[in-house]
Amino acid sequence: MLCYYLQSFIRYGPSEYSSYCAERLRRTLANGERSEPPCWVELQVGKNKKPISVAVGLMDGRSISLTVDSASTSAEVCSAVIQKINLQDTYGFSLYAAMYEKIWSLGSSSQHVLDAVSMCEQEEKRQGKEEQHAPWRLYFRKEIFTPWHNCSSDQVSTELIYKQTIHGLKSGDYQSDKVSPGYLFELGSYINSTKPAFEVKEEIVQYAQEKWPIYFSKLYEAQIISGPSVPQDKFVVVVNWKGVFFQDVTEAAFLQLSYPEVSGIEMSEEESGGIVCLTTPKGMYELQVVKGKDLVELVNLFISGLKKRSQYAVGIQDLIRQEDPTLLSYRRGDVLYIIKDGEYSSEEGWIKAKNERTNQTGAVSLDAIRILAMLTRPTEETLVNMILLFHTNLWRKILLSTGHYYVNCFYQCFECSCHLVPLSIGHRESKEGGRGKGVAKERLWANSKEPLKQPLLRSLQGNSELCHLASDCFTDILPDYPVKHVRTPIDLTNQIFGSVTAHVDLRDEIYCQIMKQMTNNNHGMERGWQLLWLCCGLFPPSQLLLRHAQRFLESRTREPLASTCLQRMQTMLSIEGRKLPPHQVEVDAIQNNSTQIFHKVHFPNDTSEIFEVTTTTRIKDLCRNIAKDLRLSSSDGYSLFVKTSTKVSDMISFKYFFDNLRQLTDVVKKGKKVKEAIVPYLVLFMRKLWFNVIPGKDITADLTFHFPQELPKYLRGYHNVSKEEMISLAGLLLRVQVDTNKSQFVMIPRMLKDLVPVDQQKIMTPDDWKKHIINAYNKQAGITVDEAKLQFLKTISQWPTFGCVFFEVKQTSEKSYPSVITLSISKQGVSIINPKAKEVLVKHPFSKITSWSSGNTYFHLTIGNLVQGTTLLCETSVGYRISDLLSSYKDMYLNEIPRVRKSKRINM
């Protein structure tokens, strides 16, 4: 109603403005409201009512001049560019905004172009400059490929993407471990090719699409609401032509889904952001996604496009139609090749297909199959996942469950679904002595002293690397097969499970190999059960093998480890599998016939305790257990660390304890000789993040962690402290050292390193220090050692540097700073300190810190926003520790925001 009155008001306004304002209102109503204030250029053209002229750069060096208004969207600008350059293959091109070194996508839909310009001007103004001089730019670039992209379909498109690829490499836009020297070498072979120019450009574009999909992806911020376990609650959903990926802050994908593995994606609610329901072989994920509607539309577009172009389907039920030759017969799991000759109408629910197993052709009902969202023939793993997605059962029921009979049944169950995961060894049938087909099969699935020449599962055939790895595993499982070198138990488990944890396709194979060697075996059963116990705690068998593995264990009720193995297997079904082979501690435990595993944890006050850990104990769970055992008020802010001879590394909260332990100690092992393979290490439990630390609130935490962790920082001289405070604190520290034994006063000059900051010891003579410290000690008479520690904490907790972690680094980017500076990191952010004067040069709160990066010899910190920032360049060997600490504080604040919001809602 208000809009109607506004339109009427405008209609009766001055003639020179009425039509102009009416058109602007119409455009705003059509394209939606803006999210940023008008930019400088809008205010200028508003005076003369002229259109706004902008230049859009193309990646081939051209510039397209266009007119826009306040309501112009990226879709409109992209459409205008497409029309001007006669682009035919238009999908995936987007408008980008850039200023200085920053560039970001505006997409090709409803985002307002001048909102981006306004943001650039605002940033320029924040930097103390004039907004009209903000050097913003607009570009037209390829953002994402379709899975069916064809370089030969449009020469204009291919030329633009080719130029973008070359420009990206030269400018460093495409610079990461994804653009390895090997890739660049291969790319160079294309560039230096003698083929026709356009053919070379096609190959380079295809190469960039295939090798660097992350650079041609759309990213969506997401938070898990419910579903299968994921390593972190907040992550990024990455969509590109290869599939859908869940990616953490390190750009590592912890879930990878090809489009055939996405059986459904939809919005469950129409709220802001939306709840996205994503159905996968692991289950359904409910995600809170920024721009969730765009995500759903994009994935569904790719899936529907793939299905439309696909020539492959899979049967989801048995259909035997021997009486009607028109209809095609097939089994569940059969691959069907779709014949698109128009003989049958898909609109009426029928297609023509050929069964690859039987080579027969006939009509197929669309209700009984699933067309695969892929352009190439499906792999065996894809078929398995498709069956899981549609909840079909490919296995016969096992009616016999013990010993000799189990072997035959086990073989038959694999044989009946021979299309999916059949056995690969074709033993000849023996006819001697009346032995027939069944005996040959039984021999295959019984213990053998001969190593396998190829895997048990046909699904691994055709992959020479996996075939070789599977055969190596089998040789190590054999207890009495001769080997050239004597190997320790950990060497054997590394050999057996190292390949399997790295290659998911080998998981069922290793289960089958272990069960084969434990069938009809009178020797080496102890090792077999130990290996199976370890295996069941690393990962579960697939759904196709699960029932048989369960029945194998259920049929051996007399074996002590059978029920434990079954329980471990059931546990692994609902959680993520392990990433690395068993740790030495796990192997030692089962070697000693113990299914309980214990590990020592050390504390800063030089004490330690033994804690039980399981195969699937995560770092955060162990932290909670330790805090509960010590009766700490909370585990928040504490973390586990691994200390080796070369470094101290923080353990990652969401990872499995033994996986993370191996990662941190195996790094050291790589440079060791074989005889030094066991790397000494300590597991430490300490406070990492210093927030809500009030001395006296949690006495156990004060004495066990806060005092022993803060004392070394004080003695190293990181705090700016007065002479009077040093004397008082020295008196407290003397009591900590000697309690009430005054006979030790004579040793005070030699004890100064434990009483006074190292850089302040020379401000007085040792005798003067002794006199002042004794005087302070006497004034504090009557307190205990623990009370002295607590008083020490209460004193230093008043300082702004209390709880900070300090790093001395060499900086090379800021001339006004000393070459050597101290970085102080706390809950407030990062402070840069002059280490000699202990003067704070500048403070950077976390809200102003854009990003950071580190390597073996450097640490870089960027201050500012996405548009403009300054970078502090530092040389240091502990950049990894600085980066980790900053990330932890950032995560702390991100986790705290939902708590605060929830608390406010409750209080309301």
Q: What is the pLDDT of residues 401-436, one digit of tens each?
A: 333 333 333 434 443 333 333 333 333 333 333 334
Asked if pLDDT for residue 171 goes beyond 60, the answer is: yes
Confidence of residue 743 (pLDDT cuts 50, 70, 90): very high
46-50, 53-57, 391-395, 502-506: least confident range: 391-395
Write out the residue limits of the CATH 3.10.20.90 domain(s) in the chain: 32-144, 597-687
End-to-end CA distance of the chain: 34
Asked if pLDDT for residue 620 goes beyond 70, the answer is: yes
Sign of the C-alpha dihedral computed for residues 444, 449, 453 and 456 taken in this order: positive
Q: What is the pLDDT of residues 256-269, one digit of tens each?
A: 999 988 988 998 75
Asked if pLDDT for residue 803 goes beyond 60, the answer is: yes
The pLDDT, as a whole number, for residue 537 is 94
What is the Cα–Cα distance from 129 to 135, expressed in whole angstroms?
11
What is the Cα–Cα distance from 432 to 650, expressed in whole angstroms?
65
**Residue 882: what are its φ and ψ, rounded to 5°?**
-65, -45
**CATH class of the region 808-903:** mainly beta
What is the Cα–Cα distance from 364 to 367, expressed in whole angstroms?
9
What is the Cα–Cα distance from 145 to 240, expressed in whole angstroms?
7
Asked if pLDDT for residue 107 goes beyond 50, the answer is: yes
Multiple choice CATH, 597-687, 3.30.70.3270, 3.10.20.90, 3.30.43.10, 3.40.50.300:
3.10.20.90
Confidence of residue 315 (pLDDT cuts 50, 70, 90): confident
What is the Cα–Cα distance from 780 to 733, expressed in whole angstroms?
11
What is the Cα–Cα distance from 470 to 497, expressed in whole angstroms?
10
Lookup: tokens for 554: 């259920």
The pLDDT, as a whole number, for residue 908 is 47
The pLDDT, as a whole number, for residue 80 is 95
Asked if pLDDT for residue 891 goes beyond 90, the answer is: no
Residue in the block written with tokens 């009591």: 735
Q: Report whether 613 contacts 640 (CB < 8 A).
A: no
Strand order in the sheet with 361-365: 361-365, 350-355, 335-339, 312-315, 369-371
Asked if pLDDT for residue 475 goes beyond 90, the answer is: no
CATH number 1.20.80.10 is the correct assignment for the domain at 699-798: yes
Strand, helix or coil for residue 762: helix
Share of the chain above pLDDT 90, in %: 51
Asked if pLDDT for residue 509 goes beyond 60, the answer is: yes
The pLDDT, as a whole number, for residue 791 is 96
The pLDDT, as a whole number, for residue 368 is 77
Asked if pLDDT for residue 762 goes beyond 70, the answer is: yes
Lookup: tokens for 522: 């009178």
State the average pLDDT over residues 335-344: 88
Which numeric CATH code is attached to 458-592? 1.25.40.530
192-201, 434-443, 815-824: least confident range: 434-443
What is the Cα–Cα distance from 30 to 75, expressed in whole angstroms?
13
The pTM of this model reads 0.54
Q: Is residue 168 within a helix (H) or strand (E), and if so which, with residue range? A: helix 155-171
Q: Report whether 598 contacts 611 (CB < 8 A).
A: yes
467-471, 565-569, 604-608, 626-630: least confident range: 467-471
What is the Cα–Cα distance from 511 to 400, expressed in whole angstroms?
20
Lookup: tokens for 587: 């192997």
What is the Cα–Cα distance from 895 to 885, expressed in whole angstroms?
15
Higher pLDDT, 53 or 459: 53
Write out the residue limits of the CATH 1.25.40.530 domain(s) in the chain: 458-592
Q: What is the pLDDT of residues 692-732, one digit of tens each?
A: 899 999 999 999 999 999 999 999 999 999 999 999 999 99
Higher pLDDT, 597 or 391: 597
Higher pLDDT, 753 or 332: 753
Residue in the block written with tokens 């001969």: 450
Confidence of residue 478 (pLDDT cuts 50, 70, 90): low
Write out the residue limits of the CATH 2.30.29.30 domain(s) in the chain: 808-903
What is the Cα–Cα distance from 145 to 157, expressed in whole angstroms?
11
Amino acid occupying residue 316: I
What is the Cα–Cα distance from 454 to 472, expressed in whole angstroms?
10
Asked if pLDDT for residue 897 goes beyond 80, the answer is: no
The pLDDT, as a whole number, for residue 776 is 95
Asked if pLDDT for residue 468 goes beyond 90, the answer is: no
The pLDDT, as a whole number, for residue 867 is 63
The pLDDT, as a whole number, for residue 695 is 95
Higher pLDDT, 688 or 406: 688
Q: How far is CA 159 from CA 9, 187, 206, 434, in A?
A: 51, 16, 12, 72
Tell which residue, 57, 373, 59, 77, has the closest CA to residue 205. Answer: 59
Q: Report whether 242 contacts 297 (CB < 8 A).
A: no
The pLDDT, as a whole number, for residue 74 is 94
Q: Report whether 823 contacts 874 (CB < 8 A).
A: yes
Sign of the C-alpha dihedral computed for residues 872, 877, 851 and 689 taken in this order: negative
Amino acid occupying residue 601: V
Q: What is the pLDDT of residues 175-196, one digit of tens each?
A: 644 455 555 555 555 565 667 8
State the average pLDDT over residues 123-127: 89
Confidence of residue 313 (pLDDT cuts 50, 70, 90): very high
The pLDDT, as a whole number, for residue 413 is 40
CB atoms within 10 A of CB 462: 10
Highest mean pLDDT among 92-106, 371-385, 475-489: 92-106
The pLDDT, as a whole number, for residue 390 is 58
Share of the chain above pLDDT 70, in %: 80
Higher pLDDT, 521 or 855: 855
Q: What is the DSSP string of 79-138?
A: HHHHHHHT-S--TTEEEEEEETTEEEEEETSS-BHHHHHHHHHHHHHHTTS-GGG--EEE
What is the Cα–Cα distance from 449 to 475, expressed in whole angstroms?
9
Which numeric CATH code is attached to 32-144? 3.10.20.90
Q: Report whether 598 contacts 606 (CB < 8 A).
A: no
Amino acid occupying residue 856: N
Q: How far is CA 507 from CA 381, 577, 633, in A?
A: 12, 11, 42
3-state secondary structure 477-531: HCCCCCCCCCCCHHHHHHHHHHHHHHCHHHHHHHHHHHHHHCCCCCCCHHHHHHH
Q: What is the DSSP string of 666-680?
A: HHHHTTS-GGG-S--
Q: Is residue 621 within a helix (H) or strand (E), and if so which, with residue range? A: helix 619-630
Tell which residue, 72, 12, 15, 11, has the closest CA to residue 42. Answer: 72
What is the Cα–Cα distance from 59 to 66, expressed in whole angstroms?
17
CA 753 to chain centroid: 45
State the average pLDDT over residues 69-89: 93
Q: What is the pLDDT of residues 663-687, one digit of tens each?
A: 888 765 554 444 445 578 999 999 9
Confidence of residue 770 (pLDDT cuts 50, 70, 90): very high
What is the Cα–Cα distance from 871 to 848, expressed in whole angstroms?
12
Confidence of residue 557 (pLDDT cuts 50, 70, 90): confident
Q: Quote the mean pLDDT of the chain.
A: 83
Q: What is the pLDDT of residues 818-842, one digit of tens each?
A: 999 999 999 999 999 999 989 999 9
Q: How far is CA 324 from CA 346, 350, 352, 369, in A?
A: 20, 15, 15, 18
Asked if pLDDT for residue 792 goes beyond 50, the answer is: yes
